[in-house]
Structure 1
Amino acid sequence: MGFQPIVPFGGMAGWAFLQRTRAAQAAAHEATPAISRDTAYFAEKIGSIDSAADLVGDYRLLKVALGAFGLDDDLPNKAFIRQVLEGGSIAPDSLANRMVDKRYLAMTKAFGFDLGTPRTRLSDFADEILSSYRGRQFEIAVGEQNPDMRLAMSLPRDLGTIVESDNTADGRWFAVMGNEPLRKVFETALGLPSSLAILDIDRQLGVFRERAAAVFGSGEVSQFADPDRLEDLNRLFLMRAQIADGGASMSPGAVALTLLQSI
């Protein structure tokens, strides 16, 4: 059995422990035989890959490539991934550009098969992809112990991509609502029910914006470019998630104190 991350607590206590031990735990996870074999193979072989067809034709390379962008579940969908990669990122109407899930666009840009020379030929390409792969695989392993910690770990990266985009204010909210992990974080932090999803999309937008303004003082996603505001969101998410998980065993006073500490 490979290394299993240790997350002894939920909520902010668990988050603080994970932050203190993250580097050591991540290193132990990266040293497991499965991760070591995958990364060594990718580093050795990726420089010889010149096309999307080459990549999807090698199961082990494709596994790492998809894992680096959080697309592990697409491993069986070789024809689709080839189509996305071959369409490239330059043409505005390419498949990757038209997809709501921008992870596909990020992967397409990273490999650059629509360029004269694909980025797989760059000397630092393997290190770039493997760094992301190792990080995301560690997040998955943490999530197997505590799903909320996985969401907290991915929050800066996933929300940061949306905040830094050239999207409109409404478009950023739509991107958050369309990203299942981020939506879960916001629904939990803002005290919103998952049943909100059955409402008309514009009504959902209004609810998210109004609730964010009430809790954080601003109703716009762009506010989370501020690291302190991002940390506020993460802290509120973890505390409310802990209450939801263990609220039945907590006294009313303990629940109230936890909520007060999170605001």
Structure 2
Amino acid sequence: MSFAPVLPMGGLAGWGFLKRTQETQAAAFTRQASVQREEAYFRDRIASVETAEDLVNDPRLLRVALSAFGLEADVNNRYFIRKVLEDGTTSDTALANRLADKRYLEFATAFRLHKGGVPRTGLTGFADGILSQWKTRSFETAVGSKDETYRLALNAERELAALAQKDMSNDARWFTVMGNTPLRKVFETALALPPSFGALDIDRQLAVFKEKAAAAFGSSEIAQFEAPEKMEALVRRYLLRADQAAAPATSPALMLLQAARR
């Protein structure tokens, strides 16, 4: 795909520009001939996929399917993906249930290609849903080719909005965050957690995430990020701290962050 997002500046100013132009730029992305070709191919063939083997043996279908869940890096890991799909999601020993990254669980649930199951690939609206996710995430990936922090910020906005709507406890929402690699990175960066943090006991990690979030945003509830001002505060902290990690001590981003602390 040849789309090049327009990002004339970095940092918070660049983020503001991206948000103002996001709808227009995303529309330009989906109008590309390459995107339209992949969409037509997926629509034409996905209903014929009845097994995990069918899907992994078609690289074009598999790339779109994986990219819809942010898992495009696994497109060549065909045995692994086949195992994720064939195990399904109902057993505690299923691979998707044992992986920390719950995007694999979402992927397996969406396609339902486990042995003995009834595939969802032929259902009315299935292709529409997967392609919508694919185009959204592919646009984010294109943005990430210019600035990875913006990709993660866009992903966080989308994922947290969806997570806030789910009928689950706050702890379950935090565990979902902790099991979503891109989303976890945003929180770890925004809350200034060290690289060694992931080695802690899982319950201790949960407690620290909640404590840090309450201190930074006034509440430990994930649902708070449904409010635009809280989402903006999270993204702002994330972008400033990401800039701080990559910039010299006299950078404007670091000065802004230090001023915010005071």
TM above 0.5, yes or no, is yes
Counterpart position of 1:8: 8
Q: CA deviation at 1:168?
A: 5.3
> How large is the Cα RMSD of the aligned pairs?
2.9
Q: CA, structure 1 residues 214+47, in 2 after alignment: closer, same or farther (shift >3 Å)?
A: same
Aligned residue for 2:8, secondary structure, equals coil
Q: Distance in 2 between matches of 1:91 and 1:118?
A: 17
Counterpart position of 1:139: 140
1:123-144 CA distances to partner (integer Å, 9 max, x unpaired)? 3221211111111111111111
State the identity %.
51
Q: CA deviation at 1:187?
A: 2.3
Q: CA deviation at 1:152?
A: 0.5
Q: CA deviation at 1:17?
A: 0.8
Do the aligned residues in 2 keep the contact of 1:29 with 1:138 (CA within 8 Å)? Answer: yes
Q: CA, structure 1 residues 40+210, in 2 after alignment: closer, same or farther (shift >3 Å)?
A: same
One-letter amino acid of the counterpart of residue 96, structure 1: A
Q: Distance in 1 between matches of 2:216 and 2:203?
A: 20
Do the aligned residues in 2 keep the contact of 1:235 with 1:262 (CA within 8 Å)? Answer: no
Which one is further off, 216-225 or 162-171? 162-171
Q: CA, structure 1 residues 197+43, in 2 after alignment: closer, same or farther (shift >3 Å)?
A: same
Q: Distance in 1 between matches of 2:176 and 2:219?
A: 18
Do the aligned residues in 2 keep the contact of 1:84 with 1:96 (CA within 8 Å)? Answer: yes
Structure 2: where are the runs of 5+ without partners?
none
Aligned residue for 1:248, secondary structure, equals coil
Q: Could you tell me the TM-score, scaled by structure 2's length?
A: 0.84
Instruction: Tell whether 2:102 aligns with 1:102.
Output: yes
Matches within 5 A, 1:1-263: 2-91=2-91, 93-114=93-114, 117-160=118-161, 162-163=163-164, 169-250=170-251, 255-257=254-256, 260=259
Matched pairs, number: 261
Q: Distance in 2 between matches of 1:174 and 1:110?
A: 20
1:140-167 CA distances to partner (integer Å, 9 max, x unpaired)? 1111101110010000333355555566
Do the aligned residues in 1 keep the contact of 2:243 with 2:254 (CA within 8 Å)? Answer: no
One-letter amino acid of the counterpart of residue 212, structure 1: A
Q: Distance in 2 between matches of 1:132 and 1:190?
A: 28
Do the aligned residues in 2 keep the contact of 1:11 with 1:241 (CA within 8 Å)? Answer: no
Which one is further off, 188-197 or 51-60? 188-197
Which one is further off, 97-106 or 203-212? 203-212
Do the aligned residues in 2 keep the contact of 1:189 with 1:237 (CA within 8 Å)? Answer: yes
One-letter amino acid of the counterpart of residue 153, structure 1: L
Do the aligned residues in 1 keep the contact of 2:103 with 2:180 (CA within 8 Å)? Answer: no
One-letter amino acid of the counterpart of residue 235, structure 2: N
Q: CA deviation at 1:231?
A: 2.5
Q: Distance in 2 between matches of 1:142 and 1:51?
A: 33
Do the aligned residues in 1 keep the contact of 2:49 with 2:121 (CA within 8 Å)? Answer: yes
Q: Distance in 2 between matches of 1:188 and 1:41?
A: 39
Aligned residue for 2:121, secondary structure, equals helix
Q: CA deviation at 1:88?
A: 2.4
Structure 1: where are the runs of 5+ without partners?
none
1:72-123 CA distances to partner (integer Å, 9 max, x unpaired)? 1111221222222222234455333343322122122222235864221123
Q: CA, structure 1 residues 166+237, in 2 after alignment: closer, same or farther (shift >3 Å)?
A: same
Q: Distance in 1 between matches of 2:202 and 2:119?
A: 39
Do the aligned residues in 2 keep the contact of 1:239 with 1:262 (CA within 8 Å)? Answer: no
Do the aligned residues in 2 keep the contact of 1:177 with 1:183 (CA within 8 Å)? Answer: yes
1:199-246 CA distances to partner (integer Å, 9 max, x unpaired)? 454444443332222111223434334443223211221233234434
